[in-house]
Structure 1
Amino acid sequence: MIPETPDYLFHAGEATVLAREGQFTDAMPEILIGRTDGPVGHAFAKLMAQSKGHTAMFVIRACNQLVRPATIMVPKVTLKDTANIDLFGGVVQSATADAVVDCLIEGIIPRELANRLCIISLVWIDPRCAKHENLDKKDMYRTNHEATRLAIRRALSNEPTVDELIARRHSLKHDMDDWS
Protein backbone atom coordinates (compact mmCIF):
# COMPACT_ATOMS: atom_id res chain seq x y z
CA MET A 1 0.00 0.00 0.00
CA ILE A 2 1.35 3.43 -0.95
CA PRO A 3 1.14 5.99 1.89
CA GLU A 4 -1.04 9.03 1.27
CA THR A 5 1.84 11.43 1.91
CA PRO A 6 5.01 9.59 0.86
CA ASP A 7 7.08 12.79 0.77
CA TYR A 8 6.49 13.57 4.43
CA LEU A 9 7.72 10.40 6.13
CA PHE A 10 11.01 11.74 7.52
CA HIS A 11 12.74 15.06 6.82
CA ALA A 12 15.68 16.57 8.67
CA GLY A 13 17.05 20.08 8.49
CA GLU A 14 19.25 22.46 10.38
CA ALA A 15 20.30 26.08 10.27
CA THR A 16 22.55 28.47 12.10
CA VAL A 17 21.83 32.17 12.53
CA LEU A 18 24.49 34.12 14.36
CA ALA A 19 23.90 36.61 17.14
CA ARG A 20 24.69 40.27 16.84
CA GLU A 21 28.06 41.41 18.20
CA GLY A 22 28.46 40.97 21.95
CA GLN A 23 25.64 38.46 22.34
CA PHE A 24 25.58 34.69 22.88
CA THR A 25 22.21 34.26 21.23
CA ASP A 26 23.29 32.17 18.23
CA ALA A 27 20.51 29.82 17.16
CA MET A 28 21.18 26.35 15.77
CA PRO A 29 17.94 24.35 15.64
CA GLU A 30 17.97 20.81 14.32
CA ILE A 31 14.56 19.91 12.94
CA LEU A 32 12.89 16.59 12.32
CA ILE A 33 9.52 16.77 10.58
CA GLY A 34 7.33 13.94 9.40
CA ARG A 35 4.00 12.21 9.63
CA THR A 36 2.45 11.48 12.99
CA ASP A 37 2.01 7.84 11.94
CA GLY A 38 5.66 7.39 10.95
CA PRO A 39 9.05 7.33 12.68
CA VAL A 40 8.97 11.05 13.51
CA GLY A 41 5.58 10.64 15.16
CA HIS A 42 6.87 7.71 17.22
CA ALA A 43 9.95 9.70 18.30
CA PHE A 44 7.70 12.66 19.11
CA ALA A 45 5.53 10.53 21.41
CA LYS A 46 8.59 9.06 23.16
CA LEU A 47 9.84 12.55 23.95
CA MET A 48 6.88 12.98 26.29
CA ALA A 49 8.92 11.02 28.85
CA GLN A 50 11.09 13.68 30.48
CA SER A 51 14.81 13.40 31.19
CA LYS A 52 16.56 15.47 33.83
CA GLY A 53 17.92 18.72 32.42
CA HIS A 54 16.49 18.14 28.94
CA THR A 55 12.83 18.84 29.50
CA ALA A 56 10.82 18.50 26.32
CA MET A 57 8.16 21.13 25.86
CA PHE A 58 5.27 21.57 23.46
CA VAL A 59 5.61 24.70 21.38
CA ILE A 60 2.78 27.12 22.06
CA ARG A 61 2.17 30.65 20.83
CA ALA A 62 0.27 31.55 24.01
CA CYS A 63 -1.61 29.64 26.66
CA ASN A 64 -4.11 27.34 24.96
CA GLN A 65 -2.55 27.93 21.51
CA LEU A 66 -0.52 24.83 20.57
CA VAL A 67 1.00 25.31 17.14
CA ARG A 68 0.23 23.06 14.19
CA PRO A 69 1.93 20.91 13.17
CA ALA A 70 2.30 19.87 16.80
CA THR A 71 5.89 20.75 17.68
CA ILE A 72 8.03 19.71 20.60
CA MET A 73 11.33 21.33 21.46
CA VAL A 74 14.18 19.84 23.46
CA PRO A 75 17.29 21.71 24.63
CA LYS A 76 20.64 20.47 23.30
CA VAL A 77 22.33 21.44 26.57
CA THR A 78 21.39 20.66 30.15
CA LEU A 79 19.30 23.48 31.58
CA LYS A 80 20.58 23.82 35.14
CA ASP A 81 18.90 26.97 36.39
CA THR A 82 15.61 28.79 36.33
CA ALA A 83 17.00 31.66 34.24
CA ASN A 84 17.91 29.36 31.31
CA ILE A 85 14.66 27.42 31.68
CA ASP A 86 12.79 30.74 31.47
CA LEU A 87 14.63 31.63 28.24
CA PHE A 88 13.81 28.18 26.81
CA GLY A 89 10.11 28.37 27.73
CA GLY A 90 9.85 32.06 26.90
CA VAL A 91 11.84 33.72 24.13
CA VAL A 92 12.95 30.53 22.37
CA GLN A 93 9.52 28.92 22.57
CA SER A 94 7.88 32.07 21.24
CA ALA A 95 10.32 32.36 18.34
CA THR A 96 9.90 28.68 17.48
CA ALA A 97 6.10 28.93 17.60
CA ASP A 98 6.03 31.97 15.36
CA ALA A 99 8.42 30.31 12.91
CA VAL A 100 6.18 27.24 12.61
CA VAL A 101 3.08 29.38 12.02
CA ASP A 102 4.97 31.56 9.53
CA CYS A 103 5.94 28.38 7.63
CA LEU A 104 2.22 27.56 7.37
CA ILE A 105 1.42 31.09 6.20
CA GLU A 106 4.20 30.98 3.59
CA GLY A 107 3.19 27.53 2.32
CA ILE A 108 6.48 25.89 3.35
CA ILE A 109 4.39 23.50 5.43
CA PRO A 110 1.23 22.52 3.52
CA ARG A 111 -1.82 23.67 5.52
CA GLU A 112 -3.74 20.54 4.60
CA LEU A 113 -1.07 18.43 6.34
CA ALA A 114 -0.77 20.54 9.49
CA ASN A 115 -2.62 17.99 11.64
CA ARG A 116 -0.89 14.97 10.11
CA LEU A 117 2.69 16.13 10.62
CA CYS A 118 4.74 16.77 13.73
CA ILE A 119 8.03 18.52 14.37
CA ILE A 120 10.85 17.85 16.80
CA SER A 121 13.18 20.80 17.30
CA LEU A 122 16.46 20.47 19.16
CA VAL A 123 17.44 23.95 20.26
CA TRP A 124 20.64 25.51 21.49
CA ILE A 125 20.78 27.96 24.37
CA ASP A 126 24.29 29.11 25.20
CA PRO A 127 24.57 28.71 29.00
CA ARG A 128 26.11 32.20 29.16
CA CYS A 129 22.88 33.86 27.96
CA ALA A 130 20.94 33.86 31.20
CA LYS A 131 23.77 35.46 33.17
CA HIS A 132 24.73 37.98 30.47
CA GLU A 133 24.03 41.41 31.96
CA ASN A 134 23.10 42.91 28.58
CA LEU A 135 21.23 39.94 27.12
CA ASP A 136 19.24 41.11 24.11
CA LYS A 137 16.08 38.98 24.12
CA LYS A 138 14.98 40.57 20.84
CA ASP A 139 18.16 39.26 19.23
CA MET A 140 17.56 35.84 20.80
CA TYR A 141 14.04 35.88 19.32
CA ARG A 142 15.38 37.00 15.91
CA THR A 143 18.05 34.31 15.66
CA ASN A 144 15.75 31.50 16.79
CA HIS A 145 12.88 32.60 14.55
CA GLU A 146 15.05 32.94 11.44
CA ALA A 147 16.98 29.72 12.07
CA THR A 148 13.85 27.66 12.75
CA ARG A 149 12.11 28.90 9.59
CA LEU A 150 15.24 28.15 7.57
CA ALA A 151 15.70 24.69 9.13
CA ILE A 152 12.08 23.74 8.39
CA ARG A 153 12.38 24.99 4.79
CA ARG A 154 15.64 23.07 4.33
CA ALA A 155 14.13 19.92 5.83
CA LEU A 156 11.12 19.95 3.52
CA SER A 157 13.27 20.87 0.49
CA ASN A 158 15.85 18.17 1.24
CA GLU A 159 18.65 20.75 1.43
CA PRO A 160 21.48 20.50 0.97
CA THR A 161 21.10 18.07 -1.90
CA VAL A 162 23.34 15.05 -2.24
CA ASP A 163 24.85 16.62 -5.38
CA GLU A 164 25.68 19.83 -3.48
CA LEU A 165 27.29 17.88 -0.65
CA ILE A 166 29.45 15.93 -3.08
CA ALA A 167 30.37 19.00 -5.15
CA ARG A 168 31.41 20.97 -2.06
CA ARG A 169 33.09 18.11 -0.19
CA HIS A 170 36.58 19.62 -0.39
CA SER A 171 35.69 23.31 -0.56
CA LEU A 172 33.81 23.61 2.74
CA LYS A 173 34.94 22.77 6.22
CA HIS A 174 33.27 22.81 9.61
CA ASP A 175 33.26 26.21 11.32
CA MET A 176 35.05 24.73 14.33
CA ASP A 177 37.59 22.92 12.14
CA ASP A 178 41.04 23.86 13.36
CA TRP A 179 42.55 20.42 12.91
CA SER A 180 42.86 20.15 9.15
Structure 2
Amino acid sequence: MYKVGEALVGDEPNLAHIDLVIGEKDGPVGQAFLNGISQPSKGHTPLLSVIRPDLQTKPSTLIVPKVTVQGMEDADKAFGPVQEGVARAVADSVEEGIIPKDRTEELVIIVSVFIHPEASDFQKLNRFNYGATRLAIRRAMEEFPSIDKVFEEKDKAGHPLMGTRTVKLRNPPYLQVAMDKPSLEQQLNVIQELPENDHLIVEAGTPLIKKYGISVVEKLREKNDSTFIIADLKTLDTGHLEARMAADAGADGVVVSGLADKNTIEKATREADKCGIYCIVDTLNVSNPVVLLKELEEKPHIVELHRGIDQEYAGEEHSAWGDIPTIKELTRENLVAVAGGITKDTIREALESGADIIVVGRAIANSKDPESKTRDFLEAMGKAYSKLEEEKFGDIEQFRWRTDF
Protein backbone atom coordinates (compact mmCIF):
# COMPACT_ATOMS: atom_id res chain seq x y z
CA MET A 1 0.00 0.00 0.00
CA TYR A 2 1.17 3.51 -0.83
CA LYS A 3 -1.51 6.17 -0.36
CA VAL A 4 -1.27 9.96 -0.53
CA GLY A 5 -3.65 12.51 1.00
CA GLU A 6 -3.87 16.28 1.45
CA ALA A 7 -6.22 18.71 3.19
CA LEU A 8 -6.51 22.36 4.20
CA VAL A 9 -8.75 23.36 7.11
CA GLY A 10 -9.23 26.62 9.02
CA ASP A 11 -8.12 30.19 8.53
CA GLU A 12 -4.91 32.12 9.08
CA PRO A 13 -2.88 32.27 11.17
CA ASN A 14 -4.08 29.05 12.84
CA LEU A 15 -4.97 27.10 9.69
CA ALA A 16 -3.83 23.53 9.17
CA HIS A 17 -2.39 22.21 5.93
CA ILE A 18 -1.69 18.51 5.95
CA ASP A 19 0.23 16.38 3.43
CA LEU A 20 0.51 12.71 4.32
CA VAL A 21 1.48 9.29 3.03
CA ILE A 22 0.35 5.90 4.32
CA GLY A 23 2.19 2.68 3.59
CA GLU A 24 3.69 -0.55 4.91
CA LYS A 25 6.57 -0.59 7.38
CA ASP A 26 8.59 -2.80 5.02
CA GLY A 27 8.00 -0.55 1.99
CA PRO A 28 9.21 2.90 0.86
CA VAL A 29 7.00 4.72 3.38
CA GLY A 30 8.46 2.66 6.22
CA GLN A 31 11.99 3.45 5.01
CA ALA A 32 11.17 7.17 4.86
CA PHE A 33 9.70 6.89 8.38
CA LEU A 34 12.98 5.44 9.73
CA ASN A 35 15.08 7.99 7.85
CA GLY A 36 12.98 10.78 9.30
CA ILE A 37 13.57 9.65 12.87
CA SER A 38 17.24 8.76 12.48
CA GLN A 39 18.33 11.64 10.23
CA PRO A 40 16.36 14.74 11.27
CA SER A 41 17.09 18.06 9.61
CA LYS A 42 17.82 21.20 11.63
CA GLY A 43 14.64 23.07 12.54
CA HIS A 44 12.38 20.36 11.11
CA THR A 45 12.87 17.62 13.70
CA PRO A 46 10.15 14.97 13.24
CA LEU A 47 8.20 13.80 16.27
CA LEU A 48 6.01 10.81 16.92
CA SER A 49 2.33 11.55 17.16
CA VAL A 50 1.04 10.90 20.67
CA ILE A 51 -2.40 11.29 22.20
CA ARG A 52 -0.65 12.05 25.47
CA PRO A 53 2.89 11.44 26.71
CA ASP A 54 3.65 7.71 26.75
CA LEU A 55 0.68 6.87 24.46
CA GLN A 56 1.45 7.01 20.75
CA THR A 57 -1.31 6.47 18.25
CA LYS A 58 -1.59 3.48 15.89
CA PRO A 59 -0.59 3.14 13.10
CA SER A 60 2.67 4.75 14.20
CA THR A 61 2.65 8.29 12.86
CA LEU A 62 5.55 10.66 12.26
CA ILE A 63 4.87 14.42 12.25
CA VAL A 64 7.24 16.50 10.11
CA PRO A 65 6.98 20.33 10.49
CA LYS A 66 7.09 22.21 7.16
CA VAL A 67 8.11 25.50 8.77
CA THR A 68 11.32 25.80 10.77
CA VAL A 69 10.73 25.44 14.51
CA GLN A 70 12.45 28.37 16.21
CA GLY A 71 12.50 28.38 19.98
CA MET A 72 10.25 26.93 22.63
CA GLU A 73 7.20 28.95 21.58
CA ASP A 74 7.11 27.18 18.20
CA ALA A 75 7.97 23.86 19.84
CA ASP A 76 5.01 24.16 22.20
CA LYS A 77 2.64 24.43 19.21
CA ALA A 78 4.07 21.31 17.56
CA PHE A 79 4.44 19.23 20.73
CA GLY A 80 1.05 20.23 22.09
CA PRO A 81 -2.08 21.00 20.07
CA VAL A 82 -0.79 19.80 16.70
CA GLN A 83 0.69 16.55 17.98
CA GLU A 84 -2.46 15.62 19.90
CA GLY A 85 -4.81 16.67 17.09
CA VAL A 86 -3.00 14.54 14.52
CA ALA A 87 -2.79 11.55 16.89
CA ARG A 88 -6.48 11.65 17.72
CA ALA A 89 -7.41 11.96 14.04
CA VAL A 90 -5.41 8.82 13.26
CA ALA A 91 -6.99 6.89 16.13
CA ASP A 92 -10.50 7.97 15.17
CA SER A 93 -9.86 6.99 11.56
CA VAL A 94 -9.04 3.46 12.73
CA GLU A 95 -12.01 3.33 15.10
CA GLU A 96 -14.34 4.35 12.28
CA GLY A 97 -12.90 1.81 9.86
CA ILE A 98 -11.29 4.25 7.44
CA ILE A 99 -7.95 2.61 8.23
CA PRO A 100 -8.35 -1.18 8.70
CA LYS A 101 -7.89 -2.07 12.37
CA ASP A 102 -6.19 -5.34 11.53
CA ARG A 103 -3.43 -3.48 9.66
CA THR A 104 -2.43 -0.94 12.32
CA GLU A 105 0.80 -2.85 13.12
CA GLU A 106 1.74 -3.18 9.44
CA LEU A 107 1.28 0.45 8.42
CA VAL A 108 3.00 3.73 9.20
CA ILE A 109 1.94 7.28 8.41
CA ILE A 110 4.07 10.35 7.71
CA VAL A 111 2.22 13.63 8.25
CA SER A 112 3.74 16.89 7.04
CA VAL A 113 2.19 19.80 8.97
CA PHE A 114 2.20 23.55 8.42
CA ILE A 115 2.32 25.71 11.52
CA HIS A 116 2.12 29.44 10.85
CA PRO A 117 4.77 31.38 12.83
CA GLU A 118 2.04 33.76 14.04
CA ALA A 119 -0.38 31.03 15.15
CA SER A 120 -1.40 31.57 18.75
CA ASP A 121 -4.76 29.89 19.41
CA PHE A 122 -4.00 26.39 20.71
CA GLN A 123 -7.64 25.33 20.56
CA LYS A 124 -7.89 26.23 16.87
CA LEU A 125 -4.52 24.64 16.10
CA ASN A 126 -5.72 21.44 17.71
CA ARG A 127 -9.13 21.42 16.07
CA PHE A 128 -7.94 22.41 12.61
CA ASN A 129 -5.09 19.89 12.54
CA TYR A 130 -7.42 17.18 13.77
CA GLY A 131 -9.92 17.94 11.02
CA ALA A 132 -7.32 18.29 8.27
CA THR A 133 -5.64 15.02 9.23
CA ARG A 134 -8.96 13.17 9.29
CA LEU A 135 -9.83 14.56 5.88
CA ALA A 136 -6.41 13.81 4.41
CA ILE A 137 -6.55 10.20 5.67
CA ARG A 138 -9.98 9.67 4.17
CA ARG A 139 -8.87 11.16 0.89
CA ALA A 140 -5.78 8.97 0.85
CA MET A 141 -7.69 5.75 1.57
CA GLU A 142 -10.36 6.61 -1.02
CA GLU A 143 -7.72 7.76 -3.53
CA PHE A 144 -9.35 11.16 -3.87
CA PRO A 145 -9.34 12.90 -6.24
CA SER A 146 -10.06 10.79 -9.29
CA ILE A 147 -8.52 12.02 -12.51
CA ASP A 148 -12.01 12.95 -13.72
CA LYS A 149 -12.40 15.15 -10.64
CA VAL A 150 -9.08 16.83 -11.42
CA PHE A 151 -10.25 17.54 -14.99
CA GLU A 152 -13.54 18.92 -13.69
CA GLU A 153 -11.99 21.24 -11.12
CA LYS A 154 -8.63 22.31 -12.54
CA ASP A 155 -9.95 25.38 -14.37
CA LYS A 156 -12.48 26.39 -11.72
CA ALA A 157 -10.79 26.51 -8.33
CA GLY A 158 -8.26 29.15 -7.33
CA HIS A 159 -5.27 28.62 -5.07
CA PRO A 160 -5.72 30.73 -1.91
CA LEU A 161 -2.34 32.39 -2.41
CA MET A 162 -3.05 33.16 -6.06
CA GLY A 163 -6.74 33.99 -6.00
CA THR A 164 -9.31 32.83 -8.49
CA ARG A 165 -8.62 33.64 -12.11
CA THR A 166 -10.30 32.50 -15.30
CA VAL A 167 -7.70 30.57 -17.32
CA LYS A 168 -9.97 28.37 -19.42
CA LEU A 169 -13.22 29.26 -21.13
CA ARG A 170 -15.31 26.26 -20.15
CA ASN A 171 -18.76 27.77 -19.67
CA PRO A 172 -19.93 29.88 -22.63
CA PRO A 173 -21.38 32.22 -23.63
CA TYR A 174 -18.92 35.00 -22.82
CA LEU A 175 -18.99 38.74 -23.42
CA GLN A 176 -15.68 40.08 -24.74
CA VAL A 177 -15.13 43.80 -24.24
CA ALA A 178 -12.75 45.10 -26.92
CA MET A 179 -10.62 47.99 -25.67
CA ASP A 180 -9.95 49.53 -29.09
CA LYS A 181 -9.77 53.23 -28.30
CA PRO A 182 -6.08 54.30 -28.29
CA SER A 183 -6.32 56.11 -24.98
CA LEU A 184 -4.68 54.17 -22.19
CA GLU A 185 -6.02 56.24 -19.32
CA GLN A 186 -9.59 55.98 -20.60
CA GLN A 187 -9.39 52.22 -21.16
CA LEU A 188 -7.85 51.63 -17.72
CA ASN A 189 -10.79 53.49 -16.23
CA VAL A 190 -13.15 51.26 -18.22
CA ILE A 191 -11.66 47.99 -16.98
CA GLN A 192 -11.97 49.19 -13.38
CA GLU A 193 -15.65 49.92 -13.89
CA LEU A 194 -16.54 46.55 -15.40
CA PRO A 195 -18.74 44.43 -13.10
CA GLU A 196 -17.52 41.20 -11.52
CA ASN A 197 -18.62 38.35 -13.77
CA ASP A 198 -17.21 34.97 -14.76
CA HIS A 199 -18.53 35.45 -18.29
CA LEU A 200 -16.51 38.54 -19.06
CA ILE A 201 -13.38 38.75 -21.26
CA VAL A 202 -11.25 41.84 -21.82
CA GLU A 203 -9.50 42.40 -25.14
CA ALA A 204 -6.51 44.69 -25.50
CA GLY A 205 -7.44 45.98 -28.96
CA THR A 206 -5.05 46.37 -31.87
CA PRO A 207 -5.07 50.21 -31.93
CA LEU A 208 -4.39 50.33 -28.19
CA ILE A 209 -1.45 47.90 -28.48
CA LYS A 210 -0.03 49.68 -31.54
CA LYS A 211 0.09 52.96 -29.68
CA TYR A 212 1.36 51.76 -26.29
CA GLY A 213 2.97 48.41 -27.04
CA ILE A 214 2.32 44.96 -25.63
CA SER A 215 3.01 46.28 -22.11
CA VAL A 216 -0.55 47.64 -22.16
CA VAL A 217 -1.63 44.09 -21.26
CA GLU A 218 0.38 44.30 -18.03
CA LYS A 219 -1.31 47.59 -17.17
CA LEU A 220 -4.76 46.10 -17.77
CA ARG A 221 -3.80 43.08 -15.65
CA GLU A 222 -2.78 45.38 -12.79
CA LYS A 223 -6.28 46.85 -12.78
CA ASN A 224 -8.07 43.50 -12.92
CA ASP A 225 -5.99 40.42 -12.15
CA SER A 226 -8.83 37.89 -12.34
CA THR A 227 -10.14 38.71 -15.84
CA PHE A 228 -9.33 36.66 -18.93
CA ILE A 229 -7.34 39.05 -21.16
CA ILE A 230 -6.76 38.67 -24.90
CA ALA A 231 -4.04 40.53 -26.81
CA ASP A 232 -5.38 41.34 -30.28
CA LEU A 233 -2.10 41.49 -32.22
CA LYS A 234 -3.57 40.34 -35.56
CA THR A 235 -0.22 38.70 -36.18
CA LEU A 236 0.82 38.28 -39.81
CA ASP A 237 4.36 36.95 -39.38
CA THR A 238 6.65 35.42 -36.71
CA GLY A 239 3.65 33.87 -34.97
CA HIS A 240 5.73 32.06 -32.36
CA LEU A 241 7.51 35.26 -31.28
CA GLU A 242 4.35 37.31 -30.94
CA ALA A 243 2.50 34.54 -29.10
CA ARG A 244 5.37 34.39 -26.61
CA MET A 245 5.36 38.20 -26.26
CA ALA A 246 1.64 38.16 -25.45
CA ALA A 247 2.07 35.40 -22.87
CA ASP A 248 5.04 37.12 -21.24
CA ALA A 249 2.95 40.29 -20.88
CA GLY A 250 0.26 38.36 -18.99
CA ALA A 251 -2.28 37.71 -21.74
CA ASP A 252 -4.46 34.60 -21.66
CA GLY A 253 -4.93 34.60 -25.43
CA VAL A 254 -3.33 36.04 -28.55
CA VAL A 255 -5.04 36.91 -31.84
CA VAL A 256 -3.47 35.92 -35.16
CA SER A 257 -4.80 37.15 -38.50
CA GLY A 258 -6.40 34.51 -40.70
CA LEU A 259 -4.65 36.22 -43.62
CA ALA A 260 -1.27 35.11 -42.30
CA ASP A 261 0.62 32.23 -43.86
CA LYS A 262 -0.58 28.93 -42.43
CA ASN A 263 2.93 28.26 -41.05
CA THR A 264 2.67 31.49 -39.07
CA ILE A 265 -0.72 30.48 -37.65
CA GLU A 266 0.50 27.00 -36.75
CA LYS A 267 3.67 28.30 -35.09
CA ALA A 268 1.61 30.75 -33.07
CA THR A 269 -0.71 27.94 -31.98
CA ARG A 270 2.17 25.70 -30.94
CA GLU A 271 3.83 28.51 -29.00
CA ALA A 272 0.53 29.39 -27.33
CA ASP A 273 0.26 25.76 -26.21
CA LYS A 274 3.74 25.93 -24.69
CA CYS A 275 2.82 29.11 -22.83
CA GLY A 276 -0.57 27.82 -21.66
CA ILE A 277 -2.61 30.45 -23.50
CA TYR A 278 -5.18 30.41 -26.30
CA CYS A 279 -4.46 31.16 -29.95
CA ILE A 280 -7.39 32.90 -31.68
CA VAL A 281 -7.60 33.20 -35.48
CA ASP A 282 -9.35 36.37 -36.65
CA THR A 283 -11.10 35.85 -40.01
CA LEU A 284 -11.35 39.54 -40.93
CA ASN A 285 -11.26 39.63 -44.78
CA VAL A 286 -10.89 35.83 -44.98
CA SER A 287 -13.27 34.73 -47.73
CA ASN A 288 -13.80 31.17 -46.53
CA PRO A 289 -12.86 30.37 -42.90
CA VAL A 290 -13.79 26.68 -43.27
CA VAL A 291 -11.29 26.17 -46.10
CA LEU A 292 -8.59 27.95 -44.09
CA LEU A 293 -9.16 25.84 -40.99
CA LYS A 294 -9.19 22.57 -42.91
CA GLU A 295 -5.75 23.41 -44.30
CA LEU A 296 -4.25 23.88 -40.84
CA GLU A 297 -2.61 20.87 -39.20
CA GLU A 298 -2.47 22.75 -35.87
CA LYS A 299 -5.99 23.97 -35.21
CA PRO A 300 -6.43 27.22 -33.26
CA HIS A 301 -8.20 27.21 -29.92
CA ILE A 302 -10.79 29.79 -31.01
CA VAL A 303 -11.95 31.28 -34.30
CA GLU A 304 -13.27 34.84 -34.43
CA LEU A 305 -15.71 35.63 -37.22
CA HIS A 306 -15.17 39.32 -37.72
CA ARG A 307 -16.75 42.16 -39.64
CA GLY A 308 -14.44 45.20 -39.57
CA ILE A 309 -15.22 48.73 -38.45
CA ASP A 310 -14.44 50.12 -41.92
CA GLN A 311 -16.86 47.64 -43.45
CA GLU A 312 -19.51 48.73 -40.98
CA TYR A 313 -18.97 52.41 -41.71
CA ALA A 314 -19.14 51.67 -45.45
CA GLY A 315 -22.72 50.57 -44.88
CA GLU A 316 -22.30 46.86 -45.51
CA GLU A 317 -25.27 44.91 -44.28
CA HIS A 318 -24.90 42.58 -41.32
CA SER A 319 -24.87 39.12 -42.83
CA ALA A 320 -25.24 35.69 -41.31
CA TRP A 321 -22.18 34.45 -39.43
CA GLY A 322 -21.80 31.38 -41.59
CA ASP A 323 -21.60 27.73 -40.63
CA ILE A 324 -20.63 28.15 -36.99
CA PRO A 325 -21.21 24.46 -36.03
CA THR A 326 -18.74 23.31 -38.72
CA ILE A 327 -16.22 25.97 -37.73
CA LYS A 328 -16.47 24.91 -34.07
CA GLU A 329 -15.52 21.36 -34.97
CA LEU A 330 -12.35 22.72 -36.59
CA THR A 331 -11.15 24.48 -33.40
CA ARG A 332 -9.27 23.04 -30.44
CA GLU A 333 -11.71 24.27 -27.80
CA ASN A 334 -14.93 24.19 -29.88
CA LEU A 335 -15.31 27.94 -29.42
CA VAL A 336 -16.38 30.57 -31.95
CA ALA A 337 -16.40 34.31 -31.35
CA VAL A 338 -18.34 36.83 -33.43
CA ALA A 339 -17.43 40.51 -33.75
CA GLY A 340 -18.55 43.57 -35.65
CA GLY A 341 -21.27 46.04 -34.75
CA ILE A 342 -23.11 43.77 -32.35
CA THR A 343 -25.82 45.50 -30.32
CA LYS A 344 -28.28 44.37 -27.66
CA ASP A 345 -30.78 43.93 -30.49
CA THR A 346 -28.56 41.62 -32.55
CA ILE A 347 -26.91 39.67 -29.73
CA ARG A 348 -29.70 37.09 -29.64
CA GLU A 349 -29.20 36.35 -33.34
CA ALA A 350 -25.50 35.73 -32.74
CA LEU A 351 -26.17 33.39 -29.82
CA GLU A 352 -28.81 31.46 -31.75
CA SER A 353 -26.29 31.03 -34.56
CA GLY A 354 -24.11 29.12 -32.09
CA ALA A 355 -21.61 31.81 -31.09
CA ASP A 356 -19.81 31.24 -27.79
CA ILE A 357 -18.15 34.64 -27.43
CA ILE A 358 -19.83 37.94 -28.26
CA VAL A 359 -17.28 40.68 -28.95
CA VAL A 360 -18.47 44.22 -28.21
CA GLY A 361 -16.20 47.21 -28.59
CA ARG A 362 -17.23 50.85 -28.79
CA ALA A 363 -20.68 50.29 -27.30
CA ILE A 364 -18.98 49.52 -23.98
CA ALA A 365 -15.36 50.70 -24.15
CA ASN A 366 -16.29 54.22 -25.33
CA SER A 367 -19.42 54.52 -23.20
CA LYS A 368 -19.83 57.13 -20.46
CA ASP A 369 -21.24 54.35 -18.27
CA PRO A 370 -19.38 51.13 -19.21
CA GLU A 371 -20.61 49.29 -16.12
CA SER A 372 -24.27 49.79 -17.01
CA LYS A 373 -23.69 48.98 -20.69
CA THR A 374 -21.85 45.79 -19.78
CA ARG A 375 -24.66 44.70 -17.48
CA ASP A 376 -27.14 45.33 -20.29
CA PHE A 377 -25.26 43.02 -22.64
CA LEU A 378 -24.77 40.35 -19.96
CA GLU A 379 -28.46 40.51 -19.15
CA ALA A 380 -29.31 40.03 -22.84
CA MET A 381 -27.05 36.95 -22.73
CA GLY A 382 -28.69 35.64 -19.56
CA LYS A 383 -25.43 35.99 -17.61
CA ALA A 384 -26.02 39.06 -15.48
CA TYR A 385 -25.39 39.08 -11.71
CA SER A 386 -26.87 41.57 -9.33
CA LYS A 387 -24.57 43.88 -7.37
CA LEU A 388 -25.72 42.14 -4.21
CA GLU A 389 -24.55 38.78 -5.55
CA GLU A 390 -21.17 40.27 -6.46
CA GLU A 391 -20.72 41.79 -3.01
CA LYS A 392 -21.76 38.56 -1.29
CA PHE A 393 -19.97 35.99 -3.41
CA GLY A 394 -17.29 37.84 -5.34
CA ASP A 395 -16.33 35.46 -8.13
CA ILE A 396 -19.79 33.97 -8.66
CA GLU A 397 -19.09 30.75 -10.51
CA GLN A 398 -16.15 29.84 -8.32
CA PHE A 399 -17.97 30.32 -5.01
CA ARG A 400 -18.86 27.05 -3.29
CA TRP A 401 -18.54 25.51 0.11
CA ARG A 402 -15.58 23.15 0.18
CA THR A 403 -17.37 20.17 1.67
CA ASP A 404 -16.34 17.54 -0.88
CA PHE A 405 -13.67 15.02 -0.06
TM range (shorter): 0.7 to 0.9
Mapped pair 1:24 → 2:13: yes
Deviation of residue 37 (structure 1)?
1.2
Q: How many residues align?
A: 164
**RMSD (Å) for aligned C-alpha atoms:** 1.3
Paired position in structure 2 for 1:92: 82
Partner of 1:36: 25
Q: Which sections of structure 2, spanning at least 5 residues, go unmatched?
A: 164-224, 227-405
Q: Is residue 47 from structure 1 mapped to residue 36 from structure 2 by the alignment?
A: yes
Which residue of 2 is the match for residue 113 of structure 1? 103
Q: Residue 173 of structure 1: CA displacement?
A: 2.6
- Residue deviations 1:85-110 (CA, integer Å, cap 9, x gap): 11101110010111010101111110
Give 1:149 deviation, angstroms.
0.4
Tell me by how many angstroms 1:84 deviates: 0.6
Deviation at 1:24, TM superposition (A): 1.4
Q: Distance in 2 between matches of 1:77 and 1:170?
A: 29
For residues 103-151 of structure 1, give each alpha carbon's deviation from its aligned partner in whole angstroms, at most 9, with x where no partner exists. Answer: 011111100000100000000110012xxxxx32111111010000000
Aligned-partner Cα distance in 2 for 1:94–1:40: 22
| Counterpart for residue 132 of structure 1 | none
Runs of 4+ off more than 6 Å:
none
Residue aligned with 2:63, SS:
strand
Q: 2:142 aligns with which of 142, 157, 162?
A: 157
- For 1:93, the aligned partner's letter is Q
Q: Do structure 1's residue 145 and structure 2's residue 130 form an aligned pair?
A: yes
The 2-side partners of 1:39 and 1:163 are apart by: 28
Amino acid at match of 2:154: R
* Offset of residue 63 of structure 1: 2.1
- Match of 2:14, SS state, is coil
Please report how far the alpha carbon of residue 59 of structure 1 lies from its aligned counterpart in structure 2 after TM superposition: 0.7
Structure 1 Cα separation of the partners of residues 154 and 7 of structure 2: 18
Bigger relative CO (Cα 8 Å, ≥ 6 apart): 1
Which residue is 1:170 aligned to?
A: 155
Q: Which has the higher helix share?
A: 2
SS in 2 for 1:108: coil
Supply the AA of the counterpart residue of 1:176.
L
* TM score, norm. by length of structure 2: 0.39
Residue 55 of structure 2 aligns to a residue whose secondary structure is coil
TM-score by length of 1: 0.87
Q: State the identity as a percent.
A: 37
Larger radius of gyration between Structure 1 and Structure 2 = 2
SS at match of 1:15: strand
